[in-house]
Amino acid sequence: MIQIPRLDRRRAAALFGDDTGAATAEYAITTMAAVAFAGLLVVIMRSDEVRGILTDLVRRALTVS
């Protein structure tokens, strides 16, 4: 049977103490979330109902005196 070494404080600090690359991973996750949100907006904006609502809103805004 293989014995797994214990994870003491010094070993944990050596394994998990370095944050190198953490910011890059956070940027990647944020970028993926932004792309997903943009895709959702594209789907919503392509619907005829939303397009009609926005067109009506712009027309009313331009004709108000």
CA dihedral 48, 54, 60, 62 (to 10 degrees): -120
Query: What is the distance between the alpha carbons of residues 17 and 3, in angstroms, rounded to a whole number?
Result: 24
Give the largest CA-CA distance in the chain: 84
**What type of residue sits at position 29?**
I
How much is the average pLDDT of 1-17? 83
pLDDT beyond 90 at 7: no
How much is the average pLDDT of 15-38? 86
pLDDT beyond 80 at 22: no
pLDDT beyond 70 at 44: yes
Angle CA 30–36–38, to nearest 5: 100
pTM of the model: 0.51
Contact 58, 50 (CB under 8 A): no
